[in-house]
């Protein structure tokens, strides 16, 4: 049994919150630069150029890439041979988020109750997704999610007889209806299968995959390419002002499902597709 201290988790989460909000992952940077070169609309190219300049400036000055520094979504893959000492995992995560958002001067956007709307003043509580895995390590991934893109999430319970083409059409429709609201170009996270809550989890987790990494299943890799082509043909373009770059990538995660259902969740992430991870 390997021990990991409460304080080491706090420090890791603190650092990851600041890193994720201020430094765009390299794969997202590369995708935006490639889109800037490929975009056929002059207006779209100008916007993409501004986006590249913005994340470069933010990284150099250690400033948030976007003023909406999001709700802290934390994925914790906990090895079964790990024992956490000094406190609870959830408490350590929340303390780390509080320190990160306070010491990093990040915007605090969380209200303690959905109707009474009083700000908690430290961006807690985080949304914590815990998964038990093999081994003696703890992998922490912090993925701050802004409200503009999160509000465009759609969940549909499709008929189990739906074909691949019909599923693709439903994904494209979700992006089309979102329009400019999620600050395109977006990354499209798709959860297919499981049940309602599992589909939503899959869609959120799909956003963590590197934009340079293809789906391991050739069937779904081809489906992702097909949907991306259809989405970019919509003409929504960067920031919704027209162009050929509405999405940078489409990522699909699937799970076994019931014979009588076909859950589909689409979770969009804006061009600031933020996440940072560390293994303890």
- Same domain for 232 and 204, yes or no, is yes
pLDDT tens, residue by residue, 158-193: 999 999 999 999 999 999 999 999 999 999 999 999
Q: Are 146 and 68 in contact, with CB atoms under 8 Å apart?
A: yes
Report if residue 69 sits inside a domain.
Answer: yes
**Cα separation, 33 vs 27, whole angstroms:** 10
Measured between alpha carbons, how far is residue 180 from residues 92, 98, 152, 234, 244 in Å? 37, 31, 10, 12, 14
Q: Tell which phi-psi region holds residue 243, choosing left (phi > 0), alpha (psi between -120 and 50) or beta.
A: left
| Mean pLDDT, residues 241-267 | 98
Domain count of the fold of the chain: 2
Which of 144, 166, 181 represents a domain boundary (last residue)?
Answer: 144
- Same domain for 198 and 238, yes or no, is yes
**pLDDT at residue 196, rounded to an integer:** 98
Report if residue 41 sits inside a domain.
Answer: no
- Same domain for 96 and 135, yes or no, is yes
Report if residue 255 sits inside a domain.
Answer: yes
Question: Which CATH number characterizes residue 261's domain?
Answer: 3.30.1330
- Same domain for 168 and 252, yes or no, is yes
Which of 100, 116, 144 represents a domain boundary (last residue)?
Answer: 144
Report if residue 55 sits inside a domain.
Answer: no
**Cα separation, 43 vs 20, whole angstroms:** 28
Give the predicted TM-score (pTM) of the model.
0.96
- Same domain for 14 and 87, yes or no, is yes
Report if residue 210 sits inside a domain.
Answer: yes
Report if residue 37 sits inside a domain.
Answer: no
pLDDT tens, residue by residue, 195-232: 999 999 999 999 999 999 999 999 999 999 999 999 99
**Cα separation, 153 vs 182, whole angstroms:** 10
- Same domain for 120 and 156, yes or no, is no
**pLDDT at residue 63, rounded to an integer:** 97
Q: What percent of the chain has pLDDT over 90?
A: 100
Which of 144, 179, 211 represents a domain boundary (last residue)?
Answer: 144
Report if residue 9 sits inside a domain.
Answer: yes
- Same domain for 100 and 157, yes or no, is no
**pLDDT at residue 221, rounded to an integer:** 98
Interstrand relation of 73-79 and 127-133 (parallel, antiparallel or unpaired): parallel
Q: Using alpha carbons only, what angle is made at residue 95 by residues 91 and 96, rounded to the nearest 5 degrees?
A: 115
**pLDDT at residue 74, rounded to an integer:** 98
Residues paired with 255 in a beta bridge = 193
Give the E-state strand segments of 16-166 in sequence order: 73-79, 82-85, 127-133, 138-142, 154-158
Question: Which CATH number characterizes residue 134's domain?
Answer: 3.30.360
By residue range, what is the domain housing residue 89? 2-20+65-144
Report if residue 47 sits inside a domain.
Answer: no
- Same domain for 219 and 164, yes or no, is yes
């Amino acid at each position: 049994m390997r021990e990991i201290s409460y304080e080491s988790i706090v420090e890791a989460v603190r650092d990851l919150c600041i890193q994720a909000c201020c430094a765009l992952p390299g794969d997202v940077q590369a995708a935006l630069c490639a889109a800037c070169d490929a975009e056929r609309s002059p207006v779209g190219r100008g916007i993409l150029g501004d986006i590249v300049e913005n994340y470069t400036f933010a990284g150099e000055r250690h400033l948030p890439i976007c003023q909406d520094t999001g709700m802290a979504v934390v994925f914790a893959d906990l090895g079964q041979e790990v024992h956490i000492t000094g406190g609870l995992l959830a408490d350590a995560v929340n303390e780390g988020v509080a320190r990160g958002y306070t010491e990093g001067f990040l915007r605090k956007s969380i209200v303690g109750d959905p109707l009474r709307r009083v700000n908690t003043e430290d961006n807690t509580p985080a949304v914590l997704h815990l998964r038990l895995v093999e081994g003696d390590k703890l992998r922490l991934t912090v993925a701050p999610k802004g409200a503009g893109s999160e509000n465009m999430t759609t969940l549909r319970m499709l008929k189990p007889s739906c074909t691949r083409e019909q599923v693709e059409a439903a994904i494209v429709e979700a992006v089309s209806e979102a329009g400019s609201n999620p600050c395109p170009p977006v990354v499209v996270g798709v959860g297919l299968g499981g049940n309602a809550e599992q589909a939503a989890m899959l869609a959120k987790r799909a956003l963590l995959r590197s934009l340079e990494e293809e789906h391991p299943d050739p069937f779904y890799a081809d489906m992702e390419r097909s949907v991306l082509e259809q989405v970019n043909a919509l003409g929504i373009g960067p920031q919704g002002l027209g162009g050929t770059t509405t999405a940078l990538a489409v990522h699909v995660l699937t799970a076994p499902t019931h014979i009588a259902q076909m859950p589909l969740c689409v979770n969009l992430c804006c061009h600031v597709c933020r996440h940072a991870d560390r293994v303890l």
